[in-house]
Amino acid sequence: MILNPKIFSSDIEMKATREGFSEGLLLAGDENKNVVALCADLTESVKMDGFTKKYPERFFEMGIAEQSMASVASGMAAMGKVPFIGSYAVFSPGRNWEQIRTTICYNNANVKIIGSHSGVTVGEDGGSHQCLEDIALARVLPNMTVIVPCDAIEAKKATVAMAKTNTPAYLRLSRPKTAVITAEETPFEIGKSQVFFTPKEKAVAGIVACGHLVYDSIKAAKELENEGIFVSVLNLATIKPLDEEGVLQFVESSGGKIIAVEEHQKYGGMGGAVAEFLAKNRPTPMEFIGADDVFGQSGTPDELIERYGMGASSIKEAIKRILER
Amino acid sequence: MTTILSNIKIKELEEKARDIRISIIEMLAEAKSGHTGGPLGMADVFALLYFYMLKHDPQNPSWSERDRLVLSNGHICPVLYATMAHAGYLPLEELKTLRKFGSRLQGHPHREFLPAMETSSGPLGEGLSQAVGMALALRVDGKENQVYCLMGDGELNEGQIWEAAMLAGKEKLGKLIGIVDRNNIQIDGSTDKVMPLLPLKEKFEAFNWHAIEADGHDFQSLNNALVEAQAITDKPSIIIARTIPGKGVPEIENDYHWHGKAPSKEEAERFISVLKNPSL
Ligand SMILES: Cc1ncc(C[n+]2csc(CCOP(=O)(O)OP(=O)(O)O)c2C)c(N)n1
Ligand SMILES: [Mg+2]
Q: pLDDT of A153-182, one tens digit each?
A: 999 999 999 999 999 999 999 999 999 999
Do A268 and A164 meet the contact criterion of CB atoms below 8 Å apart? no
Side chain identity at B103, as an amino acid letter? S
Distance CA A119, CA A311 (A): 13
Task: Give a yes or no: residue B1 inside a domain.
Answer: no
Q: Are A64 and A141 within one domain? A: yes
Contacts of B110 (CB under 8 A, 6+ apart): A126, A127, A128, A297, B120
Domain count, chain A: 2
- Per-residue pLDDT of A273-304, as tens digits, reads 999 999 999 999 999 999 999 999 999 999 99
pLDDT exceeds cutoff 90 at B279: no
Q: Are A146 and A204 within one domain? A: no
- Nearest CB among A41, A45, A304 relative to B154 is that of A41
Task: Give a yes or no: residue B50 inside a domain.
Answer: yes
Do B165 and B209 meet the contact criterion of CB atoms below 8 Å apart? yes
B75 lines ligand 1 (CB under 6 A): yes
- Per-residue pLDDT of A101-126, as tens digits, reads 999 999 999 999 999 999 999 999 99
Q: Are A93 and A211 within one domain? A: no
Task: Give a yes or no: residue A289 inside a domain.
Answer: yes
Q: Residues with beta carbon < 5 A to ion ligand 2?
A: B 152-154, 183, 185
Task: Give a yes or no: residue B236 inside a domain.
Answer: yes
Give the pairing of strands A112-116 and A82-88. Answer: parallel
Evaluated on CA atoms B39, B269, A299, B59, the torsion sign reads: negative
Distance CA A258, CA A243 (A): 15
Q: What integer is the mean pLDDT of B173-187?
A: 98
Task: Give a yes or no: residue A65 inside a domain.
Answer: yes
Contacts of B193 (CB under 8 A, 6+ apart): A61
Side chain identity at B14, as an amino acid letter? E
Distance CA A111, CA B202 (A): 36
Q: Compute how many other C-beta atoms are within 10 angstroms of the C-beta atom of residue B18.
A: 17
Query: Domain range spanning residue A41?
Result: 14-179
Q: What CATH number should be reported for the domain holding residue A31?
A: 3.40.50.970
HSE of A130, CA atoms in CB hemisphere, 13 A: 29
Query: Domain range spanning residue B170?
Result: 7-276
Q: Give the burial string for A64-99 (b: 16+ CB within 10 Å, else e).
A: bbbbbbbbbbbebbeeebbbbbbbbbbbbbbbbbeb
Return mean pLDDT, chain B: 97
Q: Are A130 and A48 within one domain? A: yes
Distance in Å, alpha carbon of A100 to nearest chain B alpha carbon: 16
Give which of A283, A271, A285, A282 is closest to A319, Cα–Cα: A285
- Give the end of a domain, one of A138, A155, A179: A179
- Per-residue pLDDT of B67-94, as tens digits, reads 999 999 999 999 999 999 999 999 999 9
- The answer to whether the CB atoms of B101 and A299 lie below 8 A apart is yes
Task: Give a yes or no: residue B55 inside a domain.
Answer: yes
Task: Give a yes or no: residue B34 inside a domain.
Answer: yes
Residue-level pLDDT at B2: 57
Geometric angle at alpha carbon B151, from B249 and A100, rounded to 5°: 120
Element (H, E) at A261: strand A258-265
- Give the end of a domain, one of A179, A210, A240: A179
Contacts of A34 (CB under 8 A, 6+ apart): A80, A81, A82
DSSP A3: B
Task: Give a yes or no: residue B91 inside a domain.
Answer: yes
- Per-residue pLDDT of A58-98, as tens digits, reads 999 999 999 999 999 999 999 999 999 999 999 999 999 99
Q: Are A163 and A202 within one domain? A: no
Side chain identity at A230, as an amino acid letter? F
Q: Are A23 and A142 within one domain? A: yes
- Per-residue pLDDT of B135-149, as tens digits, reads 999 999 999 999 999
Q: What integer is the mean pLDDT of A199-213?
A: 98
Do B147 and B175 meet the contact criterion of CB atoms below 8 Å apart? yes
Q: What integer is the mean pLDDT of A314-321?
A: 97
Q: Are A134 and A230 within one domain? A: no
B74 to chain A: closest CA residue: A128
Residue-level pLDDT at B121: 98
Question: What string of H, E and C letters represents the secondary structure of B228-269?
Answer: HHHHCCCCCEEEEEECCCCCCCHHHCCCHHHCCCCCCHHHHH
Return mean pLDDT, chain A: 98
B126 lines ligand 1 (CB under 6 A): no
Task: Give a yes or no: residue A243 inside a domain.
Answer: yes
Q: What CATH number should be reported for the domain holding residue B53?
A: 3.40.50.970
Residues of A in contact with B81 (CB under 8 A): none
Q: Are A136 and A215 within one domain? A: no
Contacts of B129 (CB under 8 A, 6+ apart): B160, B163, B164, B167
Select from A39, A41, A92, A302 the residue whose CB has the most chain B CBs within 10 Å, as the one to mutate to test that interface.
A41
Distance CA B192, CA B196 (A): 4
Distance CA A169, CA A159 (A): 10
Residue-level pLDDT at B3: 85
Is the bond leading into A241 cis (omega within 30 degrees of zero)?
A: yes
- The answer to whether the CB atoms of B122 and A129 lie below 8 A apart is yes
Q: Are A240 and A271 within one domain? A: yes
Give which of A116, A122, A113 is closest to A240, Cα–Cα: A113
Residue-level pLDDT at A151: 98
pLDDT exceeds cutoff 80 at B228: yes
Cβ burial of A11 (10 Å; 0-12, 13-18, 19+) is exposed
- Per-residue pLDDT of A137-151, as tens digits, reads 999 999 999 999 999
- Nearest CB among A68, A90, A304 relative to B123 is that of A90
Q: Are A275 and A313 within one domain? A: yes
Does B125 touch chain A if contact means CB atoms closer than 8 Å?
yes
pTM of the model: 0.97
Q: Are A149 and A214 within one domain? A: no
Q: Where are the beta strands (DSSP E) in chain B?
A: 68-71, 147-152, 176-182, 185-186, 189-190, 210-215, 237-242
What percentage of chain A has pLDDT greater than the value 70?
A: 100
Task: Give a yes or no: residue A84 inside a domain.
Answer: yes
Give which of A261, A249, A181 is closest to A213, Cα–Cα: A261
Do B66 and B3 meet the contact criterion of CB atoms below 8 Å apart? no
Task: Give a yes or no: residue B2 inside a domain.
Answer: no
Distance CA A237, CA A239 (A): 6
Nearest protein CA to atom 14 of ligand 1, as residue: B154
Task: Give a yes or no: residue B182 inside a domain.
Answer: yes
Q: Which atom of ligand 1 is nearest to the CA of A42?
A: 23
Does B74 touch chain A if contact means CB atoms closer than 8 Å?
yes
- Per-residue pLDDT of B32-64, as tens digits, reads 999 999 999 999 999 999 999 999 999 999 999
Is the bond leading into B199 cis (omega within 30 degrees of zero)?
A: yes
Q: Give the burial string for A265-300 (b: 16+ CB within 10 Å, else e).
A: bbebbbbbbbbebbeeeeebebbbbbbeeebbbbbb
Q: Are A28 and A171 within one domain? A: yes
Domain count, chain B: 1
Task: Give a yes or no: residue A137 inside a domain.
Answer: yes
Task: Give a yes or no: residue A5 inside a domain.
Answer: no
Q: What CATH number should be reported for the domain holding residue A278?
A: 3.40.50.920
- Give the end of a domain, one of A119, A147, A179: A179
Which residues of A are tagged catalytic? 66
Task: Give a yes or no: residue A307 inside a domain.
Answer: yes
Task: Give a yes or no: residue A127 inside a domain.
Answer: yes
State the complex-level ipTM. 0.97
